[in-house]
Structure 1
Amino acid sequence: MQNFAPIALFVYNRPEHTRRTIKFLQQNLLADESRLFIFSDAAKDPSQQVFVDEVRDIVKRVDGFKSVELIERKTNFGLAESIIDGVSMLVSEYGKVIVFEDDLISSAYTLQYFNDALVRYQNEEKVMHIGAYMYPLKGENLPETFFYRAATSWGWATWDRAWKDFEPDINKIIARFDRRKRLEFSIEGTMNFWKQIIEFKRGRNNSWAIRWYASIFLKGGLTLNPSKSLINNIGHDGSGIHSGLNDIYHVIINPLPVTSFPDKIEENKETYQAIKNFLKTRKGSLWQRILRFTKQKIKGI
């Protein structure tokens, strides 16, 4: 009998997003055979208490899983510390983990994909992360799944053996980058990954995800991804900690199960090019950027 990976769900102060995330998770094929651990962060200030309480009322009633355990933080950890602590706790006990935040809707086959991949690549040291979200890529005959250097953080999974290489110290990370590595890390300058590292160093963000990707990159690791997304992020409505208001990353979720995985443990050149092309053109023309900026201002984001 297969030992399915535990699911870590991190929630805070968004009751409606949390409700939708859980609803879609419950509809997953392997939900009733999966252990769910819900990490509920405490309010940062009194103004958030009513929302945190509402979220906690929702998650206390969750069913449809093999088991449900609620971990209510007594103090405000913040998203980064909550995720690092929760992931570390579960991989040390179960050897692997599937990670969700409170603004992700999944396909009915997302848990199946994660568990299949976790078993398949369990002993492949180079494979360090499994992502379920993928940009809306254009390209003919892209493989169903592929290896890529960067780690997406909207629905992911990993093993204890890989998480051991997570480096939280930003100074140690920066010290290991030279000019060539910075270029490769930022997908040849098409994504602001290096800027996120510098902003973390300056205290302008508190991203666990950029440090996790950097840890994978510096180890020479790879991430497994689907070419058609199994996750859509519903947090880009201005409600999230790190999310603005935009639809650049909106995708239609693949309704079909994933059936094929790569045998060669190497980055797929074709999909790398498709991702690079998406990143290069994702913000559109100058006119489209102005229009989007104006919309955000009107909505007060």
Structure 2
Amino acid sequence: MEALAKNTIARGSALFVFLDGPRNEDDRGLGGEIREYVSSIDGFQSVSLVEQSENIGLAASIIRGVSGMLERHESVIVMEDDLVTAPFFLQYMNDALTTYRDDEAVASIHGFVYDIKGLPETFFLKGADCWGWATWRRAWRVFESDGNRLLQGLQERGLLNEFDLDGAASYTQMLRDQIEGRNDSWAIRWHASAFLKDMLTLHPGRSLVRNIGLDGSGTHCHDVPAHLLVEADSRPLCVDRLPVSENTRARKRIIDFLRDQLLPHYTNGGIFLRVIKYLKSVFN
């Protein structure tokens, strides 16, 4: 919250904080602490707390929250509680939301990117993403909550290899895990929903988001390799209108990065399993 409040246009932004219901008695005390903290937040146009009386979990919290916001607003910027933003994150998001508002092929805007040198200032990739992102009401309508339907669509169109970044990522397995109840991922379904509609997400060439929930203290991610942790870049990003098509060079750079950094560790079981947990955490 402190980092978000330091954003250049925070005082013109309405902030909505979503608090899930308690899982147990210990959580009730934490809920009280969070309410007290939220009441002290300053630096925004307004601050609203949206609470659940019962615990509904990760996926339902995000899906209901985004859907509820988009019933009242044309667009929304979505942050989870373990993300720290750079000072120009909100400016980038708002600039991109305005620039591509009427482009039906654009599903969302994303704030995170791997630490890869030589990426363009901004670029499009097929699908969607989840670490500091934004979307519009028109795009969120394509979200499909049924993982089975999504997997069937990918299989029928022969898209599994492309969906898995030519084998460099394990998104299909994440989707299967969601179907089988082994994860509670809303994001793999958002990614697959946009992917099946041939929709694109705008990515930054330098990450404006840092994830601080990769230290083992959270629910969904533990023991992550240090070289995959990315610092948020403090410089502004220029959002110029691009042709609305996937940047194949940027896609290849990301595939090469994942293969170079992750796959050589396959024979080292401990490191490889930590890498898989990291990739899964991206879509949880």
Normalising by structure 1, report the TM-score.
Answer: 0.85
Q: How far off is 1:255 after superposition? A: 1.0
Output one character per residue of 1:54-84: Cα deviation in whole Å (capped at 9) or x when no partner. 2222122111100000012111111111111
1:254 and 1:280, CA in 2 relative to 1: closer, same or farther beyond 3 A? same
Classify the secondary structure of the residue corresponding to 2:167: coil
CA contact (8 A) 2:95 2:239 kept: no
Whether the 8 Å CA contact 1:248–1:283 is kept in 2: the answer is no
Q: How does 1:189-268 map to 2 (within 5 A)?
A: 189-246=167-224, 247-268=226-247
8 Å contact 1:146–1:261 — kept in the other structure?
no
Q: CA deviation at 1:291?
A: 6.7
CA distance in 2, matches of 1:282, 1:219: 30
Counterpart code for 1:208: W
Q: For the residues of structure 1 that align with 2:106 and 2:96, how far apart are their CA atoms?
A: 10
CA contact (8 A) 1:232 1:251 kept: yes
What is residue 37 of structure 1 aligned with on the other side? 16
Cα distance in 2 for partners of 1:283, 1:70 equals 40
Correspondence 1:146 to 2:115: no
Q: What is the Cα deviation at residue 180 of structure 1?
A: 2.9
Structure 1 unpaired stretches of 5+: 1-21, 297-301
Distance 1:295 1:158 in 2: 30
Which residue pairs with 2:68 in the alignment?
89
TM-aligned CA distance change 1:285 to 1:218, over 3 Å: closer
Matched with 1:272 is 251
* C-alpha contact (below 8 Å) 2:265/2:271 kept by paired residues: no
CA contact (8 A) 2:127 2:198 kept: no
Alignment of 1:54-133 (within 5 A): 54-133=33-112
Does the CA-based 8 Å contact 1:222-1:266 persist in structure 2? yes
Distance 1:99 1:294, change over 3 A: closer
Identity of aligned residues (%): 40
Change (3 A) 1:289 1:61: farther
Distance 2:171 2:4 in 1: 29
SS of structure 1 residue aligned to 2:158: helix
Distance in 2 between residues matched to 1:108 and 1:274, nearest whole Å: 27
Instruction: After TM superposition, give the deviation of residue 164 of structure 1 in Å.
Output: 0.5
Deviation at 1:114, TM superposition (A): 0.4
Q: What root-mean-square deviation, in Å, do the aligned CA atoms of Structure 1 and Structure 2 show?
A: 2.1
Q: Which amino acid aligns with 1:212?
A: W
Does residue 168 of the first structure (1) align with residue 145 of the second (2)?
Answer: yes
Change (3 A) 1:133 1:170: same
Counterpart residue identity of residue 135, structure 2: T
Using the TM superposition, give the Cα deviation of residue 185 of structure 1 relative to its aligned residue in structure 2, in angstroms: 0.6
Secondary structure of 2:123 counterpart? strand
Give 5+ residue unaligned stretches, structure 2: 276-284
CA shift, 1:88, in A, is: 0.6
The one-character-per-residue Cα deviations of 1:258-290 (angstroms, maximum 9, x if unpaired) are 114342111111110111012213336449956
C-alpha separation in 2, matches of 1:295 and 1:66: 40
Check conservation: 2:59, 2:184, Cα contact below 8 A.
yes
SS of the residue aligned with 2:202? strand
Would the aligned equivalents of 2:125 and 2:202 in 1 still touch at CA under 8 Å?
yes
Distance in 2 of aligned mates of 1:282 and 1:60: 43
Letter of the aligned partner of 1:214 in structure 2? A
Query: Could you report, residue by residue, the CA deviation over 1:231-256 in whole angstroms, capped at 9, with x for unpaired residues?
Result: 01000011222212213431122111
SS at match of 1:53: helix
